[in-house]
């Protein structure tokens, strides 16, 4: 133990992979200015996507409408309100402005949000009054003019407020109801744009007021907080008597619970500023007035230095603020919008009475960190070694029994490690920590169901498969039901694993893009090609031994990672405990009955986990195949128990890493890269904080974990096709022919999975864990249902089983496509639907009695 502790201490003192600039950096680029010499304060700004309406036109246009300014000389003239509308089209990375009409009246200081239909303008004021009008500005590319469409008015007049949109729902917070700041409000209104065809429902709703103080000139933005997209109300200004108060508090509103939560204050007041959600969990505040020179405008006049030029970044998950670097200008009383994956800030006020026509494009910049030569050596050395394993076992495969079952000579402990690695996958290594980082440890309870299901696997499923000496798990379905059910089950399995390969490779490629110089597509190609090489050559024996090596590497790497994370927290272990306790990151149970909530209920986790694991340990060829690689049933049972035992410390480790990541980045928010996804947070730590060499080994291990999952799917799918389709039809004339067919099919499955993986690369996926769980549920529920129906009943027959399977598949598709049900329940729903419908159909469509000796729990003791 002392030696291990010394090694870990030594590793923690090694330098990280390569030093780099940690602070969040923004690139500011000036674009063509607004075609007005003065510019405007308080304009309505938004983006109208028009590609769907006119495929020949530009896909998005920037709209700037209304606003107010002071004609020069600004200290000698009164404020003037405007009604002009400017539209900027895109061409070769720049903007081309045109004047495209007018507003219904001169108007400024309202709120605006970008919608698929156009820019929705809300409230505002002129020199005499404040309005409650709402209208949509739509760009008509044919006439090159703006169209105005009236929308339901706000509940009360409102100016100097701010709005945001989540999905189809618009939210308006803060503002003042007349020209006096003392009329500032703390209301929250919402309008669901999806109801616009139902006039009686298409009205503004009053939601719970913000618990903070009344405010105007506040910032209102939306962003995901790890559980759901929320509304954030930040800073503002209010007046009490003769005193003006500059606020810096932050409030978060949950649309699902309609509850407010206080968050960490901004470092300073940013009233009247521009803010926008960017990426998956960051907010940027690009401008704002800190109030230091408020009240001195008449004294300073042209000597006023302007508002503070410093951007801020807020991370919604860790609830932390950090600097986002200096800004070339501070434009207040305008609206920041997203255009082409960048942020646009148009016009606005730069100091009292002075506006600007300037338009800036702001782009978050990924800080540059090299991967390091030693990491490259370790990474490619490890991957080449895995291919070497395939080459080593290539000559040991004399027939399909060797290729598919390793000649039943695999040690039980290696088979157990292979089951563990197959169920683990690279997504566990990246997806589970990111889930705990973003949320909590609720899903850990699901993994603790594996030892429970292991009892069923050992004492129910295993005897069936060993009794019939199955190579394919779906041989059981033919003996129990019919050839048709067997082929359906085998085809469903093959389809599932084809998608599983694609999902694992694409999501792993996305997660590792931040840790290596490889693009997601290049990572997918690397994983796919190497998997095809060693799996096609070495068969299941190569797969199992690479799985075993990978198990040691990943678990060892996880231990080192959690030590480095905890020691890197501010305050060490004590700071780590305080941070995760305060944020309730070790929560393991949400006690409610909502099956659609982002805060997953305990009963959903338990039922969902039992369903998923029952299907995997009874109906997944990739797992069942491991049962058949050991010499005896007793040794196969040991392999199952080995996996169950490994699951407990692995669960604690991987969820512990996620919790430790939260504490580490809460201590060091400047190290979070706003350009990454939440699922890339652990690879980010590996690449930038782990010692050189070790980072390469862990990244290689993640690659190998993905390859293990992919190679398992390739081999198992080829096994199912050869055993369930080719052999029954006697397609080949010799054992050598079937071995060749197995290798060809393994190769083809690998190529197909890799190509699908390239298609599936999608950086907008919020959670690898959730996506993977949904994919498992959509396919494995029916297969698990078929095995349970066959094993637990004696009256179920082939026709009833097919009806149950088809109905179960239909129900799961509908749940996925048309309901917000938590994907964790898909498998359990599929199992129950298949069993109930299959049994009922069997009673309605009875068939001739079939010999069920040894094929159900009721006849297991009978002679086969």
Question: What's the confidence (pLDDT) of residue 776?
Answer: 65
| Distance between CA atoms of residues 257 and 220, nearest Å | 19
Give every residue of the chain whose pLDDT is below 50, as ranges. Answer: 1, 3-15, 17-22, 52-57, 864
Q: Is residue 6 part of a domain?
A: no
Q: Is residue 863 part of a domain?
A: no
11: which 2 tokens? 């590793």
Indicate the number of domains in the chain.
Answer: 2
Q: Using DSSP, state whether 89 is helix, strand or coil.
A: strand
495: which 2 tokens? 């389809």
Looking at 339, 365, 391, which one is the last position of a domain? Answer: 365
User: Helix crossing, 483-512 with 412-438: angle to 10°?
Assistant: 60
- For residues 832 and 718, membership in a common domain is answered with yes
Q: Is residue 852 part of a domain?
A: no
Looking at 331, 365, 399, which one is the last position of a domain? Answer: 365
Q: Is residue 609 part of a domain?
A: yes
- For residues 770 and 632, membership in a common domain is answered with yes
- For residues 344 and 404, membership in a common domain is answered with no
- For residues 281 and 388, membership in a common domain is answered with no
Nearest to 436 by CA among 584, 224, 647, 259: 584
Residues 6+ apart with CB under 8 A from 274: 219, 285, 286, 287, 288, 331, 332, 334, 335, 336, 345, 348
Question: What's the confidence (pLDDT) of residue 17?
Answer: 47
Nearest to 656 by CA among 601, 576, 574: 576
Between strands 84-91 and 118-122, the pairing is unpaired
Q: Is residue 15 part of a domain?
A: no
Separation in Å, CA 469 to CA 32, 629, 631, 721, 794:
74, 11, 11, 17, 22
- For residues 286 and 382, membership in a common domain is answered with no
Do the beta carbons of residue 829 and residue 811 sit within 8 Å?
yes
Do the beta carbons of residue 757 and residue 510 sit within 8 Å?
no
User: Helix crossing, 520-568 with 412-438: angle to 10°?
Assistant: 80
Q: What angle do CA 224, 226, 232 make, to 5 degrees?
A: 40
How many other CB atoms are found less than 10 A from the CB of residue 399? 15
Q: What residues does 236 pair with on adjacent strands?
A: 247
- For residues 31 and 90, membership in a common domain is answered with yes
Question: What's the confidence (pLDDT) of residue 852?
Answer: 84
Alpha carbon 342 to its chain's center: 20
Please identify which residue in the block is written with the tokens 């040691």: 552
Q: Is residue 810 part of a domain?
A: yes
Separation in Å, CA 260 to CA 78, 238, 255:
40, 20, 9
CA gyration radius for the chain? 31
- For residues 399 and 356, membership in a common domain is answered with no
Nearest to 535 by CA among 358, 339, 332, 386: 386
Do the beta carbons of residue 23 and residue 670 sit within 8 Å?
yes
- For residues 353 and 462, membership in a common domain is answered with no
Question: What's the confidence (pLDDT) of residue 1?
Answer: 44
Please identify which residue in the block is written with the tokens 């702001």: 362
- For residues 356 and 377, membership in a common domain is answered with no
- For residues 96 and 202, membership in a common domain is answered with yes
Q: Is residue 8 part of a domain?
A: no
Do the beta carbons of residue 838 and residue 801 sit within 8 Å?
yes
Looking at 365, 386, 410, which one is the last position of a domain? Answer: 365
Nearest to 285 by CA among 294, 296, 297, 277: 277
Question: Domain containing 381: what range?
Answer: 373-844
Question: What's the confidence (pLDDT) of residue 52?
Answer: 47
- For residues 310 and 393, membership in a common domain is answered with no
- For residues 318 and 436, membership in a common domain is answered with no
Question: What's the confidence (pLDDT) of residue 405?
Answer: 78
Output the domain CATH number for residue 672: 1.20.1730.10
Output the domain CATH number for residue 186: 2.120.10.80
Q: Is residue 864 part of a domain?
A: no
Question: What's the confidence (pLDDT) of residue 45?
Answer: 98
């Amino acid at each position: 133990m002392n030696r291990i502790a010394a090694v870990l201490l030594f590793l923690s003192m090694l330098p990280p992979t390569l030093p780099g600039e940690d602070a969040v950096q923004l690139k500011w680029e000036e674009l063509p200015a607004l075609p007005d010499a003065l510019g405007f304060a308080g304009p309505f700004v938004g983006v109208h996507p028009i590609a769907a309406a006119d495929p020949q036109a530009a896909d998005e246009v920037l709209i700037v409408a209304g606003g107010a300014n002071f004609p020069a000389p600004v200290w000698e003239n009164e404020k003037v309100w405007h009604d002009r509308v400017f539209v900027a089209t895109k061409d070769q990375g720049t903007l081309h402005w045109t004047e495209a009409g007018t507003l219904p009246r001169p108007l400024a200081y309202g709120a605006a949000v970008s919608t698929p239909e156009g820019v929705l303008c809300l409230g505002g004021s002129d020199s005499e009054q404040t309005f409650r009008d709402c209208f949509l500005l739509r760009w008509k590319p044919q006439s090159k003019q703006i169209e105005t469409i009236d929308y339901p008015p706000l509940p009360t007049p409102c100016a100097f407020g701010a709005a945001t949109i989540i999905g189809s729902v618009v939210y308006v917070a803060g503002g003042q109801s007349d020209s006096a700041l003392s009329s500032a409000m703390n209301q929250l209104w919402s309008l669901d744009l999806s109801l616009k065809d139902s006039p009686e429902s298409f009205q503004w709703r009053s939601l719970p007021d913000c618990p903070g103080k009344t405010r105007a000139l506040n910032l209102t933005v939306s962003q995901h907080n790890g559980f759901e997209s929320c509304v954030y109300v930040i800073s503002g200004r209010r007046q009490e008597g003769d005193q003006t108060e500059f606020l810096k508090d932050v409030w978060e509103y949950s649309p699902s619970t309609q509850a407010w939560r206080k968050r960490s204050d901004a470092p300073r007041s940013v009233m009247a500023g521009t803010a926008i959600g960017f990426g998956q969990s960051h907010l940027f505040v690009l401008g704002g007035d800190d109030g230091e020179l408020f009240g001195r405008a008449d004294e300073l006049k042209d000597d006023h230095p302007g508002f503070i030029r410093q951007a801020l970044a807020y991370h919604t998950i860790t609830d932390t603020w950090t600097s986002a670097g200096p800004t070339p200008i501070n434009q207040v009383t305008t609206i920041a919008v997203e255009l082409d994956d960048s942020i646009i800030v148009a016009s606005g006020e730069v100091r009292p009475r002075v506006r600007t026509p300037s338009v800036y494009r702001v782009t978050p910049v990924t800080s540059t960190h090299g991967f390091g030569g030693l990491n490259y050596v370790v990474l490619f050395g490890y991957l080449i070694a895995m291919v070497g394993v395939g080459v080593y076992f290539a000559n040991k495969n004399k027939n399909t029994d060797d290729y598919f079952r390793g000649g039943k000579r695999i040690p039980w402990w290696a088979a157990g490690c292979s089951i563990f690695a197959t169920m683990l996958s690279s997504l566990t290594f990246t997806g589970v920590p990111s889930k705990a980082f973003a949320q909590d440890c609720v899903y850990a309870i699901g993994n603790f169901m594996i030892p429970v299901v292991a009892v069923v696997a050992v004492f129910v499923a295993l005897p069936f498969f060993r009794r019939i000496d199955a190579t394919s798990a779906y041989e059981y379905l033919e003996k129990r039901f019919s050839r048709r059910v067997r082929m359906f089950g085998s085809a469903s399995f093959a389809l599932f694993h084809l998608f599983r390969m694609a999902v694992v490779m694409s999501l792993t490629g996305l997660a590792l893009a931040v840790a290596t110089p490889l693009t997601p597509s290049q990572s997918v190609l690397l994983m796919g090609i190497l998997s095809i090489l060693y799996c096609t050559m070495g068969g299941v024996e190569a797969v199992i031994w690479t799985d075993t090596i990978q198990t040691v590497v990943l678990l060892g790497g996880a231990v080192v990672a959690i030590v480095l994370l905890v020691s890197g927290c501010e305050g060490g272990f004590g700071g780590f405990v305080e941070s995760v306790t305060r944020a309730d990151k070790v929560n393991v149970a949400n006690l409610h009955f909502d099956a659609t909530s982002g805060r997953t209920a305990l009963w959903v986790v338990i039922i969902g986990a039992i369903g998923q694991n029952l299907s995997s340990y009874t109906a997944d060829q990739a797992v069942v195949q491991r049962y058949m690689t050991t010499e005896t049933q007793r040794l196969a049972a040991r392999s199952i128990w080995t996996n169950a035992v490994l699951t407990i410390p692995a669960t604690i480790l991987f969820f512990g890493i996620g919790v430790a990541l939260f504490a580490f980045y809460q201590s060091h928010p400047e190290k979070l890269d706003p350009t990454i996804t939440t699922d890339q947070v652990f690879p980010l730590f590996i690449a930038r904080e782990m010692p050189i060499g070790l980072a390469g080994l862990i990244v290689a291990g993640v690659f190998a974990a993905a390859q293990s999952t992919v190679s398992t799917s390739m081999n198992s799918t080829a096994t199912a096709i050869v055993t369930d389709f080719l052999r029954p039809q006697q397609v080949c004339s010799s054992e050598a022919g079937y071995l060749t067919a197995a290798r060809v099919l393994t190769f083809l499955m690998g190529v197909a999975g890799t190509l699908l993986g390239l298609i599936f690369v999608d950086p907008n996926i919020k959670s690898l864990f959730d996506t993977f769980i949904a994919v498992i549920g959509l396919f494995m529920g029916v297969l698990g249902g078929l095995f349970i129906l066959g094993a637990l009943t004696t009256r179920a027959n082939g026709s009833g089983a097919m009806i149950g399977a088809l109905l179960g598949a239909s129900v799961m598709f509908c749940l996925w496509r048309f309901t917000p049900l938590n994907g964790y329940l898909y498998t359990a729903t599929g199992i129950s639907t298949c069993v109930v419908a299959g049994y009922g159909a069997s009673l309605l469509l009875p068939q001739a009695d079939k010999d069920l000796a040894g094929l159900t729990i009721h006849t297991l003791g009978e002679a086969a």
